[in-house]
Amino acid sequence: MKAINGRVSKTLIPGTILTCADNSGAKTLMIINKIGKAGAHGRLATVGVGDIVIASVKSGTPQYIKKKVRAVIIRQRATIRRVSGMRVRFEDNAAILITDANLPVATEVKGAMAREVVERFIKLAGIASRVI
């Protein structure tokens, strides 16, 4: 997994509701925790674009409801500052489901995906409809 260029403000915490932006069958996700959490004891793990989380599926097909899944954040409402100085923000917080090998579960992504995610996870670029 490659590092992210630029500064991604990590504003999503456990309990945040995300839109599932792929065609896997899940509709909404709730963040449970971050994969690779490190920090002060008792402090909430914050995540941003390009981070892998463990999430609970809140709505969708019966196959996924109440199941714990791995997901990668592809959009966030908070501003992302890129190395070029450009700032990017999206209109919602969204994630897509991935397997243990960081491969996508679904076959397509609805909406845009941040370029930072594509740089870190090359396989996710194949299912992206737009990369911004």
Query: Residue 3 pLDDT > 90, yes or no?
Result: no
- How confident is the model at residue 38, as a pLDDT? 78
Residue 8: which residues within 8 A CB-CB, separation 6 or more? 48, 49, 50, 76, 80, 81, 116
CA dihedral of residues 89, 93, 96, 101 (deg, nearest 10): 80
Residue closest to 2 by CA, chosen among 94, 119, 101, 126 = 119
Task: Summarize pLDDT for 78-114 with one digit per residue, the tens.
Answer: 999 998 999 999 999 999 999 999 999 999 999 999 9
- How confident is the model at residue 56, as a pLDDT? 98
- Average predicted confidence (pLDDT) for the chain: 93
DSSP character for 86? -
User: Where do the domains of the chain lie, and which CATH numbers do they carry?
Assistant: 7-131 (2.40.150.20)
**Token duo for residue 44:** 């909430």
DSSP character for 47? B
0.85 cut: is pTM over it?
yes
Whether residue 56 contacts residue 49, with contact meaning beta carbons closer than 8 Å, is answered with no
Task: Summarize pLDDT for 27-45 with one digit per residue, the tens.
Answer: 999 999 999 887 788 889 9
- How confident is the model at residue 128, as a pLDDT? 93
Whether residue 125 contacts residue 115, with contact meaning beta carbons closer than 8 Å, is answered with no
- How confident is the model at residue 36, as a pLDDT? 86
